[in-house]
Amino acid sequence: MNNTLPIVTVTLNPALDRTLHLPSFTLGKVNRVDTERTDPGGKGINVAKVITALGHPVVVTGFLGKKNAYTFQDYFKQENIVDRFVETFGENRENIKIVDTTTDVVSELNFPGMIPTAADLKNLQDILRQLAVKHKWFVLSGSLPLTVPTDIYATFIEMLHQYDCNVILDTSGPALSAGIAAKPFAVKPNLPELSQLMQAPMESDKDILGAVKQLLRQGISQVAISLGEKGSLVGDCQQILRAKAPAVPVSSTVGAGDAFVAGFSVGQARSLSLADSIRLASAAASASVILPGTQAASLSDVNKLINKIEIEEWR
């Protein structure tokens, strides 16, 4: 397999990520913003940013509201990201992150987004089929627009299987449950998402390991779990590895999970070992939290952290 083929990321509900930094944030009071930044986002787009920063080509697709599509399109041109989005009627949502710089607490306001039509959905499926002919790695991530069927990721996965494509799925709730039934190559829930999926608390290492093994038995080739400050783990039918990253100054944890998925997908697309893939994923996630907003860290910043990632086998 060609290790330099672009990875395709799919974002069904893009967003303008607006990050506000305040010295303190109090409900019911007038709050004054010190600094702000706006980044084109949505989970698949955030993944694509990091894939590009890691020096790997990427194609982005999904739904993009016409009313403010230019903000995203200008960014894609600037970053040499190939744009295959389906333009829909309406406006891309805004997600607002409020960062209290005194406590480092982040509050988020996520808007519902646009409403794609059945015709938009068919156009997207046609584009995915076209891309599947020459691209072999796809990342499906993020929330769904309100009117899109909850099994849409499962539909995409089954369709991409027909072209021998590998799919990494990063979503939550019913979309994750339905997607898992279609057996993607890999899934990457965080602990709350894993707990919801298993309908059980993930309070111990034993709980988490049991859940990972259960997913592997269901036909998922690789399972990655982000554990927040405790690091991350990834497993296949041969081994389960845990990665611990060094302590770094934290500016924003928003997008860290997307950076992890990006590093992991690049590692897999380049046929790296499981250990090297989780090492790259962990370094990309750690480098991302140092930066404000949902910016992608540079390759040199990621490389500085790679050799500091500790890997151990879980049994």
Which helix (DSSP H) or strand (DSSP E) does residue 39 occupy? strand 35-41
State the pairing for strand pair 105-110/137-141.
unpaired
Sign of CA pseudo-dihedral 12, 18, 19, 23: negative
Nearest alpha-carbon partner for 218 in 165, 257, 176, 266: 176
| Cβ proximity of 268 and 277 under 8 Å | yes
> Minimal CA–CA distance to 175: which of 208, 141, 205, 202?
141
The closest alpha carbon to 239, from 226, 223, 261, belongs to 223
Tokens of residue 59, six digits? 């194609």
Q: Which residues of 56-68 are buried (b: 16+ CB within 10 A; e: fewer)?
A: bebbbbbbbbeeb
Q: Is 258 an active-site residue? A: yes
CA-based radius of gyration for the chain: 19
**Whether 46 contacts 19, CB under 8 Å:** no
Cβ burial of 5 (10 Å; 0-12, 13-18, 19+) is middle
- Of these residues, 74, 258, 276, 301, which one is catalytic? 258
Relative to beta strand 58-65, strand 222-226 is: unpaired
Residues with active-site annotation? 258
